[in-house]
Amino acid sequence: MSRATPQMRDFAGRLIAYEKGGPKSSEDKTPVAFHVCEKLRPHLATLAGKAGFRALLSRALAVASAEVPWLRAVQVEADGALGGWDDSNAQGNPEEMEEGCVLLVAQLLGLLVAFIGEDLTLRLVREAWPKLALNDLDSEDKNEKEN
């Protein structure tokens, strides 16, 4: 099993932070990573099919759950949605929840880059989040160097 690279963790963290800032119900306790995966689902299903999306997400979940125990309660359902998180033990621990969210999204993005490349992965992310400024996976670092 491969660990998520710092680059993928950073990229996942930026997507999660952006998604946290969006509109959501105050009653919604669903982990933000699930919202990120859900936003990516239609774009990835168009590219890889529903079964392909489920396979990628299942693999990302399997690898991430080896590092973050609460993810072991989560499963990918037949429609590609993530379920079972409410049975996990992380609900009372925000740091564990955050780490699991970042790691899950980082693993999914890492798999995408491995299978379809950085350019196509970024294009899919831009389709899901058109207002998010992204030049590449390290856009924050390059922006700081340019200024």
* pTM for the structure as a whole: 0.84
State residue 40 phi and psi, 5-degree precision: -75, -25
* pLDDT tens track for 106-142: 999 999 999 999 999 999 999 999 988 876 666 444 4
Cβ atoms of 32 and 16 closer than 8 Å:
yes
Residue 117: burial class (beta carbons within 10 Å; 0-12, 13-18, 19+)? exposed
Of residues 102 and 141, more confidently modeled: 102
In 3D space, the residue among 113, 147, 128, 127 whose CA is nearest the CA of residue 36 turns out to be 128
Strands (E), the chain: 75-76, 82-83
